[in-house]
Structure 1
């Protein structure tokens, strides 16, 4: 069995519980080294997780002969740079979502992957979680009949940091780093799931505004879109709503019923048909990225196939850029 020795570029929060520990849970995989621009952060992370090496320079980590795969857990603006560096070194890449901070950067990544023949995977891990696998199963079984409409609704109140004007805003609210505001951080999961279920979105249009004026990025978005099958959908996102309006819901309407589920809090799946309401609880693993990381590793070992690649992830950036009027 091929041994996969990972190098992490980035020691951020997502690597602590969602992803990092999962790399050692899969047979034939381990983390060889981590990198952060902060020496203290890199050393501390390596010591706490019993990782042999740490670096403060990404190129040095990529060039390490003991590393044969790279995990990129940095803000989106640097994804393309690090992914291209790794692929040109012949090392497969697993990148946090979204793939990049713009559709154009996604195209660059795909071009280098094609030229080098080195794969690039993207951390749209919800595709593989049991909760969303159950959603797809219900649709595939035809429980709600032919699908006629899809609706995404998300609303949340501002976070405490959003009000703080005395220090630098979180990177998610700096469009040159994140690609947009909270929309560019959260909507990718929703849009990727929908495209994984229903196919690529080929038309999208949005209206974006800043209603609360807490930061410069958009805080309220409404959009409509059409899938290649002809199915149409809409979405609304508000990141400055009142607590009473908090919502995390995707509704899928069919000719024989309706299916609704959350994307971020995993509330029971609600299935409504002529037989009544059924609520379905599905538990996810403690490390939510474990199922997709297992697929990535097994793909690299020639034992399985991971479909969450840079090619499949690119349409999500295209849709977001269209909604935000970036293209």
Structure 2
């Protein structure tokens, strides 16, 4: 068995998501497990090269995890022929320029979403990446959550019959930063820095709905900035210019209607921070991050509305837990392994920049719907087809 090493330029791993999920729980975890198994029986180890603006933060992370290479010079890292992949977890406003430079340098690119702040930019990135012959992929981590994997199993097994509707609730209370520190970075609440929950979460809902129930064809949304002023990481008050809540109705193929509320201004009264209820003619399911409960039509109770008497029936007890039936690895790590295999074996990667552009299109449609107070069909926005990826040689 042969083992080889690929250099991975990682930009933005001083942030919470880039550090915890992508560096520690993906790249370093892959190496600790012996690397990524690829076609032909070989394995691939990943050599991270950390890139960022803060020398002190980069140095501290490298010392903590015995990582050899870090730099504040992105151009130099991209020129290095030993670095084959580029990963981006920066703030959204910095993403397009850096990814463009990586593609022009001939690097395969894997990035957090959204790929861009506007649909036009996202489509141009997809075109550029497709024509260059590099492999390109977008993080779509929620597809690999245990709860949604169980939901996928139910869909594939025909449990629901005909799916009628999907109802999703996502969010939690993000503290304003004054009397308790905020759990999210301040740029999330500044539109000028690429913030906003619609741009963030509608990109997630695009691929979740598309891969489980069908592509979105139209959206009616209302975005709101509930908290007008927040306090940043340095204790300075600032005006929130981005939406912190988005309420959407999504019309899917085959007549499925999805309603999803996304909010950083809601207190949790549910089992998990995100939950989806799917109702079909033959059964229903409620899936969260890890758990999934079902109710078949044969086990459905027959409620009768009567506000004059107290409800004594426990409706939650009528639901059955879906068993794991398998071991679930970290979703970010699983998708990293998929992308590395696509790069090394020269095979297509299903969650590419075109899929990322569809997510940006849904966010843009939702923002337009809210601004204009109307239902927006996605075809009203700039159309784009599947970007054809030029053949890439296996590494």
Q: Does the pair score TM above 0.5?
A: yes
User: Which whole-Å CA distance do the structure 2 matches of 1:106 and 1:15 have between them?
Assistant: 21
Q: Which residue of 1 aligns with 2:20?
A: 17
Distance 1:196 1:207, change over 3 A: same
The question of 1:289 aligning with 2:332 is answered yes
Counterpart-to-counterpart distance in 2, 1:52 and 1:155: 38
Q: 1:131-280 maps to which residues of 2 (within 5 A)?
A: 131-161=147-177, 170-178=186-194, 180-214=195-229, 215-244=240-269, 248-262=274-288, 266-276=289-299, 277-280=319-322
CA distance in 2, matches of 1:162, 1:85: 39
Matched, 1:109 2:113: no
Taking the aligned partners of 1:139 and 1:254, their CA distance within structure 2 comes to 10
1:143-201 Cα distance to aligned partner (Å, 9 max, x none): 11111112222342232427789xx97111112223x4234334433332111112321
- Structure 1 runs not aligned, ≥5 long: none
Aligned residue in 2 for 1:315: 358
- 1:291-321 per-residue CA deviation (whole Å, 9 max, x = no partner) reads 1001000111117653111111211111111
RMSD: 2.6
Question: Contact conserved, 2:197 with 2:262, CA < 8 A, in 1?
Answer: no
Deviating 4+ runs (over 6 angstroms): 162-165
Q: CA deviation at 1:50?
A: 2.2
Contact 1:295 1:304 in 2 (8 A): no
Contact 2:6–2:82 under 8 Å retained in 1 = no
Larger Rg, first or second structure (1 or 2):
2
The TM-score, its normalising length taken from structure 2, stands at: 0.74
Map 1:73-88 to 2 at 5 A. 73-88=89-104
Higher alpha-carbon deviation: 10-19 or 102-111: 10-19
Residues in 2 aligned to 1:163 and 1:235: alpha-carbon distance in whole angstroms? 30
Residue pair 1:106, 1:310 contacting (<8 A) in 2 also: yes
Instruction: State the 1:141 CA deviation.
Output: 0.6
Against the structure 1 CA distance between its residues 9 and 139, is the aligned structure 2 distance closer, same or farther, given a 3 Å change threshold? same
Is the 8 Å Cα contact of residues 35 and 54 (structure 1) preserved in structure 2?
Answer: yes
What displacement does 1:6 show? Answer: 0.8
CA 1:303/1:105 → structure 2, altered by over 3 Å: closer, same or farther?
A: closer
String of CA shifts for 1:79-102, please: whole Å, max 9, x gaps.
Answer: 211111111111001101222222
Separation in 2, partners of 1:260, 1:172: 29
